[in-house]
Amino acid sequence: MSAAEDQAEVQRLLRAMLDPANRADPYPIYDQIRVLGPMRLPEANLAVFARYPDCEQVLRHPSSSNDRLTSTAAQREVAAGAAARPFGQPGFLFLDPPDHTRLRKLAQQAFSPRVVKALEPEIVGLVDELLGRLEPGAEFDLIAELAYPLPVAVICRLLGVPLEDEPRFGAASALLAQGLDPFVAVTGQQSADIEERLAAGKWLRGYLGELVERRRVEPREDLISELIAAEEDGDQLSGEEIVATCNLLFIAGHETTVNLIANAVRALLRHRPHWAALSAEPGRAAAIVEETLRHDPPVQLTSRIAAADLTIGELAVPKGDIMMVLTAAAQRDPAAYDRPAEFDPDRGAIRHLAFGLGPHFCLGAPLARLEATLALSALAAKFPDLRPAAEPSYKPNVTLRGLADLPVIG
Ligand code: HEM
């Protein structure tokens, strides 16, 4: 095929990736994109990477920016009159140094492995409470009963957000998670629900902003109060940055670990001997979590902007291009793994990109691993005969892909 035909094919595959019909199994599409190799779509100012070493290089590259405003596409839109940051102050995931470094450092202490380990008894208590409501032999939705409420309760507790407000903020968080899908990068157009998402974003920031004001008057032992103390202590962050940080942590806490727990259970129920082995030996949960992160990751892709002309593998990427990093595709790269499509928790120590790499490596990784490990081992111990009750359905999300429900019989 000519270069133009290859580009047209990648463009077609990316559109197929956005199509909800392919959400249940996007992996054949990723395989085809990876085989075509790293590709630049000049008209979209977009470069697409799906091989493991290329994705790794983009994430580690010193000229990879996370600030959307550095992209040619965003600069064009702003020049045409669009608002530069319609969703307001970005969370630090979408900032570069020095702001990224400063804000990440302030949130970091609350998520260190030591602090997270100390949460274990509380997480065990939450898992017991949730599983205590379920009877062996009865049908239930694993997402509604365990995979969703567990991480939500934990992040609310850490931030100091009242859990009883969940029905309101859960809906806002779900809408905002869809905003991470590469709709504009692929189609050049905003998705139809942009107004709804803007409204949800405004509402959630208003909600968190009010909470920040309440904690200012009446501090508690939570992360919001700690961030306020840092603000008042020495001008380390602004009020707007506190809200943006809480917003980022809140959404990350809502939309990721749920998919890790559910994807792991789905894989295990498709490979029954692994479920039986976990029921008998709870210590297997950690390896199952790592293999799920590789084989069917909760975050399927990310992106960077080239802050300078650079070269990734053999592809020259001009300054301002968006670099799409298909980590879920890289984690099935046959050059990086034996039998990449196979779910095999016994494959030994594995490298993966499911929590990213480099300066933006997931802050919540120790917490997500602990929650998922505890949830899976307790679930398998209580329900050795767990089995699927019906075919599950997927949420529309491309980037934070996951099941909408997972009906099982206990
Ligand atoms: C299984 C669960 C999770 C997965 C798969 C996951 C995945 C990721 C990935 C891939 C990134 C890097 C994105 C990029 O480089 O563009 C990231 C960043 C981040 N994650 Fe997670 N995450 C999970 C859970 C959590 C939790 C529970 C929290 C905390 C509440 C969290 C907080 C963050 C934050 C704050 C960042 C931004 C770090 C930075 O920019 O320095 N994540 N996560």
Task: State the distance from the centre of ligand 1 to the C-alpha of 90, rounded, in angstroms.
Answer: 15
Across residues 137-143, what is the average pLDDT? Answer: 97
Q: For tokens 């809140």, what's the residue?
A: 250
Question: Ligand 1 pocket, 260 CB below 6 A?
Answer: yes
Question: Residue for token digits 């595959």?
Answer: 13
Q: Which residues contact 133 (CB under 8 A, 6 or more apart)?
A: 145
Task: Decide whether any atom of ligand 1 lies within 6 Å of the 50 Cβ.
Answer: no
The owner of tokens 């008209």 is 43
Interval between CA 261 and ligand 1 midpoint (Å): 15
Whether residue 93 has its Cβ less than 6 Å from ligand 1: yes
Query: Can you say whether the dihedral through the CA atoms of 10, 182, 170, 225 is positive or negative?
Result: positive
- Count the residues in the chain: 410
Q: Does the Cβ of 140 fall within 6 Å of ligand 1? A: no
Convert the pLDDT of each residue in 25-83 to its tens digit. Answer: 999 999 999 999 999 999 999 999 999 999 999 999 999 999 999 999 899 888 988 88
| Contact (CB, 8 A) for 63 and 339 | no
**Average pLDDT score over residue span 145-163:** 96
Cβ atoms within 10 Å of 120's Cβ, excluding its own: 13
pLDDT higher than threshold 90 for residue 349: no
- Residue 193: the pLDDT is 86
The closest residue, in CA terms, to atom 19 on ligand 1 is: 362
Position 310 scores a pLDDT of 97
Q: What is the pLDDT of residue 232?
A: 74
182 lines ligand 1 (CB under 6 A): no
pLDDT confidence tier of residue 235, bands split at 50, 70 and 90: low
What local confidence, expressed as pLDDT, does residue 210 receive? 96
Q: Determine which residue's CA is closest to atom 18 belonging to ligand 1.
A: 362
d(CA 102, CA 359): 12
Q: Is the CB of 248 under 6 A from ligand 1?
A: yes
Mean pLDDT of 308-330: 97
% the chain with pLDDT above 90: 88
Q: How confident is the model over 355-385, as pLDDT tens digits?
A: 999 999 999 999 999 999 999 999 999 999 9
Averaged over 301-320, what is the pLDDT?
97
Distance in angstroms (rounded) separating the CA atoms of residues 269 and 175: 29
Ligand 1 mean position, distance from CA 96 (Å):
16
The Å distance, Cα 361 to ligand 1 centre, comes to 7
Instruction: Give the pLDDT confidence score for residue 211 in this predicted structure.
Output: 95
Nearby residues of 79 by Cβ (< 8 Å), 6 or more positions away = none
CA pair distance 193, 188, nearest whole angstrom = 15
Is the per-residue pLDDT at 234 higher than 80? no
Residue 375 · residue 142 · CB < 8 Å: no
- 354 Cα to the center of ligand 1, angstroms: 9
Domain extents for the chain?
3-409
**Closest residue by Cα to residue 173 from 86, 89, 248:** 248
CA nearest ligand 1 atom 24, residue: 364
Average pLDDT value over all residues in the chain: 95
pLDDT in tens, 190-222: 888 899 999 999 999 999 999 999 999 999 999
Q: How confident is the model at residue 290 (pLDDT cuts 50, 70, 90)?
A: very high
User: Ligand 1 within 6 A of 51 CB?
Assistant: no
pLDDT-derived band at 287, boundaries 50, 70, 90? very high
CATH annotation of 3-409: 1.10.630.10
